[in-house]
Structure formats: C-alpha cells, structure tokens
A = this chain, B = another copy of it.
Amino acid sequence: MIIPSREYIDSIVEKALEEDVGPGDITTSILVPPGVKSRASLIFKEDGVLAGLDFADAVFKKLDPAVKFFPAASDGEFIKAGRTAASWEGNAAALLTGERTALNFVQHLSGIATYTRRLTDLLKGSRTRLLDTRKTIPGLRLAEKYAVASGGGKNHRMGLYDQVLIKNNHLEFYPDISEAVKKARSGAPESIKVEVEVRKLDEIEPVINAGTDIILLDNMDDRTVGEAMKIIAGRVPAEVSGGITEDRLVVLKNIGVDYISMGKLTHSVKALDVHLLLEQAG
C-alpha cells in the first residue's frame, strides 16, 4: 500500500479549501466570535470502513495549526453506525469553516473503502486479489487508490509511468504481437513490469514467450477465461477485467484468476454517510 505523503495530502487539501473557502468564509467571519473553542466529532451514520482520516485532519490543521486531533480509529477499520471515528478540538471558526471539506474527503474515501471491503470479503480464502484501475476521479488518483487499499484491495499501476500495459490500441502498429512485447521489454526501465492485454486465446502463447510479466484477459466471458487460465498454466499471473459483477467475482475466484480489476471501485462511488458533531469545548 502506498501511504500518501504529507506533501501530497497537504497539497490536495489546499486545493479543496481554496475552492470552498476562496477569499473567506463570510458567515463564520461575521458570526463566530474569535477565540471560542469547540470540539468536532466525526460520527458514522451508517456502517462502513474508514478512509481519509489524515485528509480531514489536514483540513483543520491548515485552518488552525493549533487544532488538536484525537483519533479513535484508523483507516481501514470497520466502524459501526453511531460510533465516533475521531474528534478535534480547537478554534470554533476553524472547525466550522473546515467541516464540509473534511467531510467531503471522508465520505468519498470511506465510500470507496467500504465498497472495496464488501467485494474483497467475497474473495476471502482465495488467491484472487481485487485491483483498482486508472478510472479515477481527476485529481484524486492517489487518494482513491489509497482508499481501495484501505478497503483490502490491491493497487494496479498508479499511472502511465510505473508499468507498461500494452493494449489493442498500441498493437495496431505491430502486426506481430511478440514484436511489441519484446520492444517494450527492452525499452522499458529495468524496474518496470510489462503487462499485455489479450483478446484472443491464440495470443497468449506468443505473449508469454515474448516475456510478458502479466497477462490481461480483457472482456472475455467466464468460459473463455477458464480456457485462458489453462493455457497460461501459472507461468505468469493473469488479470481479468471488463463487465465484472459481484456474481462474476465469485465465479472468477473459483476459476482461480490472480487478479480482477474493477473501474467501479473508483468511478461510481456512493458516499458513506458521515457527519461532524460540533459542541462547545471545555
């Protein structure tokens, strides 16, 4: 799991505050007396897996570095409705101004972690791992992938820079798929894996021989996946993607694929219902 660095969290939180606070929080500036202290508690209103606590904390810290943070749970932890995941104490104005932005992070990231957990639970006891994709919300790639990992999923490549993935569109320029794989092998940095998307069973053998590290079986039905796995015969790991549902997840697990990747983990997220209770401190 890549844990987002402080720098990353700070920069993404800064952008989020800029768009929400802009030149200033008018209501709070006018109505909240300076110096008043409050306590803000992050409460789950439905069951779910927590993710994004450090993002929420960074929101409040940006607005008032003196805010104190009392975590009561950690990212990746399952939390029952009604329970408090964390609380903060500090300037009432800072807590009020940051409330919505902090919640926006937690509800979105915990939504991802919660859904991922539900699916990875289906794969328990098997060797099949659930992967995310690059179908993420623009600007939140790393945060979302961290949320997937918090939910028990495994990350696929972060972007175009940390793995070769040869797709049909790249193969257009290569009559012979082996040639493309070999060229990638030799051109890529030593540390970089090569994965190849195959759409037909007879592409598997040449692709393995050309030295791919992973095979992606894209948009194949379950039966074809089964046949593909027999051809691959454990020589390289196999990933399945395209049209994955909860039912298929179990079928594919039983077939024994190594990885299943789902765009839905990050592109169609249902926010988790969390809220922030503000009370007079002291």
Contacts and interface: CB of A to CB of B under 8 A. Distances in A.
Interface in A158-214: 158-167, 169-170, 172-174, 180, 183-184, 187-193, 195, 214
A152 to B, nearest CB: 12
A20 to B, nearest CB: 4
Question: Contact size class for A?
Answer: 35 or more
A56 B214 CA distance: 30
Q: By DSSP majority rule, is chain A's interface helix, strand, loop, or mixed?
A: mixed
25 contacts: A2-B23, A5-B25, A8-B24, A12-B139, A20-B141, A22-B159, A22-B160, A23-B142, A23-B158, A23-B161, A25-B160, A27-B164, A29-B187, A31-B166, A101-B138, A104-B134, A104-B135, A139-B140, A158-B191, A162-B162, A163-B192, A172-B280, A190-B239, A190-B259, A267-B271
Interface of A: 1-8, 12-33, 36, 55, 62-63, 96-97, 99-101, 103-105, 107-108, 111, 129, 131, 134-142, 145, 154-167, 169-170, 172-174, 180, 183-184, 187-193, 195, 214, 237, 239, 259, 263, 267-271, 278, 280
